[in-house]
Amino acid sequence: MAVTIRDVAKRLNLSITTVSRALDGYDDVAEDTRERVRNAAAQMGYAPSHMARQMRRQRADTIGFAISLPPTARDNTNNRAFADPFVLEFIAGLGDEATQCHLDLIVSTATPGMEEETLFRRWVQGRRLDGVVVNRLRKDDWRVAYLTQNRVPFVASGHLQGATFPFIEVDGKSGFKRMVQYLAGKGHARIGYIGGPDGLRLQDDRLAGYRAGLRAAGLSFNKAFLAQGDMTRNGGYAAALQLLALPQRPSAILCVNDMTAIGAMRAARERGLVVGRDIAIAGFDGIADAEHTEPPLTTLNQPAYDIARALVQMLAQMIEDGRRGQSHVPKQVLLQPELILRQSTEGGN
């Protein structure tokens, strides 16, 4: 058995209360008592039990991240959500800021055979969590409904119509509109689009941006130039092959995210096309890998790491307000993605 506060108290002939307060830095403890306690604790290797403390304080000091996984994005052997560097960078941001706020981060990994939802419910109901970060919102997202109903504080990366919760959204519509206009300006008239799964909010958003861009450039929308991936490399690859097989293939392809674009580049290469000369390809996210592809990928950058950190701060504030019974004013932020031009969109018109 590990050493408890009682052991320390006994050793010093003090009450456990005094030990507790000495260690927690209360000022109603004699300085030399505090010293003795500190020394004894250090020497005996005592550290307060996190569980007991949480229990007493009725807080978990833990937040959760519920990744949304499109079903096709996972196979039986591996959890592919983790394979997206964008998500990864996001998680790194969450973890870093959580640590700084003295919170733990639990990441939901829905394993094969265990529903994401089951797991999530268990967390919430078991009060393992003080709050949740949600990403990739779906159009009608059960997570939002569930969390709202159970009064669990949460913040979102992305937003929904009429959202009353805090969120940070990167403006995919405006981003892709600008991207299309840029490509049109370079002389592209046949611009294709590879999207993501249907239920996703961001899919609607980015697709709308694509169409708005076409309109703004005076280009007509061609349904045949639309393909659907699943936001993974392989999905992008398959979708691109489809577009490239058209009798009149697009001269430029926009992809819903960078992973899709990387898959699409591969498809183009296999068809004997040189990306950035015979065809233009662009993505969205600004993952580090996009710099290292051959050729480097044009993309819309969103600061995943910083967004994640900001979200955790917002969540921490929300939790704090909730504890004090204060009402929380949700902070809602809309960011513009930064257009990063690289060689993948050099030629191809």
Distance (Å, whole) CA 266 – CA 183? 20
Name which of 25 and 272 has its Cβ closer to DNA: 25
Q: What φ, ψ does residue 111 adopt, rounded to 5°?
A: -80, 160
Give the length of the chain: 349
Distance (Å, whole) CA 173 – CA 160? 14
Q: Kindly tell me the number of DSSP H helices and DSSP E strands found in the chain.
A: 13, 12
- What pairing do the DSSP bridges indicate for beta strands 252-255 and 299-301? unpaired
Distance (Å, whole) CA 35 – CA 41? 10
The answer to whether 82 contacts a second copy (rule: CB under 8 A) is: yes
Check whether the bond before 295 is cis (ω within 30° of 0). yes
The answer to whether 62 contacts DNA (rule: CB under 7 A) is: no
The answer to whether 122 contacts a second copy (rule: CB under 8 A) is: yes
Residues forming beta bridges with residue 244, ordered by sequence position: none
What is the contact mask toward a second copy in residues 49 to 78, using x (rule: CB under 8 A)?
xxxx-xx----x----------------xx
Which part of the chain contacts DNA (CB under 7 A), choosing from 2-10, 143-151, 207-215, 320-328? 2-10
**Helix pair angle (304-323, 85-100), 10° resolution:** 40
Distance (Å, whole) CA 325 – CA 92? 31
Q: Please give the distance of CA 85 from its chain centroid, rounded to a whole number.
A: 10
- The least distance separating DNA from the CB of residue 26, rounded to whole angstroms, comes to 7
- The least distance separating DNA from the CB of residue 325, rounded to whole angstroms, comes to 14
Name which of 107 and 160 has its Cβ closer to a second copy: 107
Q: Which residues, 25 to 44, sit near DNA by CB under 7 A?
A: 28-31, 33
Among 111, 148, 164, 336, binds a second copy (CB under 8 A): 111
Q: Which residues in this chain contact a second copy in the complex, by CB under 8 A?
A: 2, 45-52, 54-55, 60, 77-79, 82-83, 85, 88-89, 91-93, 95-97, 99-100, 104-107, 109-114, 119, 121-122, 125-128, 150, 233, 262-263, 266, 269, 288-289, 292-294, 305
Q: Which residues in this chain contact DNA in the complex, by CB under 7 A?
A: 1-2, 4-6, 13-18, 20-21, 23-24, 28-31, 33, 46, 48-49, 52-53, 55-58
